[in-house]
Amino acid sequence: MIDSSTELYGVFGNPVSHSLGPLMHNAAFAAKGINAVYLSFMIKNIKKGIESIRELGIKGVSITIPFKQSVIPFLDEIDKFAGEIGAVNTVVNNNGMLTGFNTDSYGAIEPLKQRLSIEKKRVCIIGAGGAARAVAFGIKKEKGMVFIGNRSEPRGKILAEQTAGRFIGLENISEIDPDIIINTTPVGMIPDVNKSPVPADLFKKHMTVMDIVYNPLRTKFIKDAEAAGCAVVDGLSMFINQGAAQFELFTGHRAPVKLMRRRVEDYINENQS
């Protein structure tokens, strides 16, 4: 029941209507008996959005496209690793003190580590935005070899340099024969489900392929990789892991990870059938 004691959390983004963050977090609040609600907010001006956190007493927010980098100047503190990444996906309000964190890196790296050792692997990251930065710095931390594939060469080269990696044009990815390919762009997200950031013939059987897009659960990128015999990690794995880390930062409670995944997975399956 929502009452005067209900704590408010949310996600700031533009667009944001596709986000399943409310479904995941509200299921976790209910499971833990926490009097809180998590809502979606489409933000046009991130500075004003951050001001609203203090004004409305919002306890914490998730930050998504396109604000993961532009939000930083408006926060009071930045977690050290988030500062290194240069991107924030989580803001916690502690009595008016707003601190930025990045759980995207953990969300992406953890499911990969469960499958293989990242050390010395050639990892091609498609994209150079906020999510790509989180993934790239996570790969660097695990001593993987970072390659950035991006349409914009200047932006891609900057991220490659910052992670001791190498920039490579999207059309040249096959030349490095990557061990791991990770899509960090929104290409393939609903409604553009027939699109992929790379051609299907790029994938080889020895590769591990990960998408951060989770709606649809099986993107064209993932389907093409499966058809080539690759090991795949769907976007829901990253989404749930980063969300669980957010939940723990928000509440101090251990996240009900399996329940969070089951709730989101059921919803996606119901709405894609």
Length of the chain: 273
Residue closest to 134 by CA, chosen among 89, 169, 181, 71:
89
167-175: long-range contacts, CB 8 A cutoff, minimum separation 24: 168/124, 170/126, 170/197, 170/198, 173/124, 173/147, 173/149, 173/198, 173/202, 174/202
Beta carbons within 10 angstroms of residue 22's beta carbon? 17
CA dihedral 201, 207, 211, 214 (to 10 degrees): 100
Check 59, 68, 140, 220 and give the catalytic one: 68
Is 68 noted as a catalytic residue in this protein? yes
Active-site positions read: 68
